[in-house]
Structure 1
């Protein structure tokens, strides 16, 4: 389904992604981990065609997406939705309009300028917000929502594209543990219920183990680990992060251990 073949990206003398190769045979939820500067974000940006590769190929369902141009490139970017760490919403625009922006690639330019959308698109946007537990906020400005709620709006916008692949670049890096778990649960359900491939750059090992079917570790632009969450031992993590014996996973954990907080997160998940 997805083949990454000897993918390389250089910025001058610096190599951000170095000869990366892996294959995915069916839709999975994949976590990519590694320290800052390991090449995780650059890889996602190449896959979404936000930046070009220096060498190599990314083939999805047999088609080299790095060779696409014009309308075919834009169609691929619609099939391959991107979720960013900082949400990339229009702050002063209402939530449902932000979600409807997921249809921009498929709508006439004039209709989007005047914020005119078909009734069926509006209903679908509200249904998606309902699915993510934030339909009550549809009429609010995006800037009035919490960080976790804004990230779920960004996920809803991605779902409006009806993509085959969802790329999430550090989707919980700026969130507190409770909201981080709500967002990751939402991404996991989208994978399980919709059968969509989800590839997420993550900064915490416990999150990768808990939510992902497969984990890829990057160090200095190269893939140094590719396996199951069970194979991601502390020793392997030290190698991925280039850390010494004093490396502690607790420093990056997003696990909620407070009983009251655990009850609240379960109630929030049920509400979604």
Structure 2
């Protein structure tokens, strides 16, 4: 599969969230998108999934401009392009297995969905996916009873129920502790390698990008300022991506940089007044 951005821009009013972006991805691989908050990372992923449309440009998948799709063709593409969110987007009071089965919503009749009627083969498949992710024993529990890391693995299982060609993950570990973050990233990497799927993930640490990604795209102010192998992601390159000063360290996250900048601004106010 080939995914290609051709001069893609997305504007909100006078601000360009994504500004004339072009790149191409070929075949299965794990691609990390890094940059500060507001760099355009989430907007980029949402356009691929058609949760938001571009202002101009083309996004081609095997030569077809997915931005031109509508109706049934658009829904079919969205089924082929699963999205995993930072805050999981599960139904808290619904049991885990049913949350996973909801990955099939776009492929089922409305009445069957309303009455929560599922085919036995779909239930078996959902349980097998949960087992693959190490949480089959949680299938009957409400999603809200699980830890954050477990909920994110349920969200991954729901995505896998779609049997997508691409998995998009928008800051999938930003709200998790280090142990659960590793479990989630290990699961995504294993799925990418074993299933031969393309995974594109917005990430917030350089260390994570280096450890899991085959390719890294760095964004700043809506533009791609780096596109290459993770071993080329030096501290100097990271400064270009994050706009950090000489005190930048390699394990800083975009959130940490923003907090540091806020501390500097607050100190300046105190000194000045």
TM-score higher than 0.5: yes
The structure with the largest alpha-carbon Rg is: 2
Aligned-pair CA distance for 1:250? 3.3
Q: Deviations over 1:67-123 (max 9, x none)?
A: 000000000000000000000000000000000000000000000000001000000
Q: Deviations over 1:133-172 (max 9, x none)?
A: 0000000000000000000000000000000000000000
User: Residue in 2 aligned with 1:208?
Assistant: 209
1:1-272 aligned within 5 A:
1-252=2-253
Secondary structure of the corresponding residue to residue 92 of structure 2: coil
CA distance in 2, matches of 1:137, 1:63: 40
- Gaps in structure 2 of 5+ consecutive residues: 255-273
CA distance in 2, matches of 1:176, 1:91: 20
CA distance in 2, matches of 1:102, 1:252: 31
- Gaps in structure 1 of 5+ consecutive residues: 254-272
Secondary structure of the corresponding residue to residue 173 of structure 1: coil
CA distance in 2, matches of 1:250, 1:14: 30
Where in structure 1 do 4 or more consecutive aligned residues deviate above 6 Å? Answer: none
CA distance in 2, matches of 1:252, 1:42: 19
CA distance in 2, matches of 1:18, 1:242: 17
Secondary structure of the corresponding residue to residue 167 of structure 2: strand
Q: Deviations over 1:33-78 (max 9, x none)?
A: 0000000000001110001100011111111100000000000000
Is contact 2:84-2:169 (8 Å) kept?
Answer: yes
State the aligned residue count: 253
CA distance in 1, matches of 2:78, 2:223: 25
CA distance in 1, matches of 2:27, 2:8: 20
Secondary structure of the corresponding residue to residue 204 of structure 2: coil
CA distance in 2, matches of 1:250, 1:183: 19
Aligned-pair CA distance for 1:249? 2.3
Aligned-pair CA distance for 1:24? 1.0
Which segment drifts farther, 241-250 or 127-136?
241-250
Aligned-pair CA distance for 1:191? 0.3
TM-score, scaled to structure 2: 0.92
CA distance in 2, matches of 1:242, 1:109: 48
Aligned-pair CA distance for 1:252? 3.4
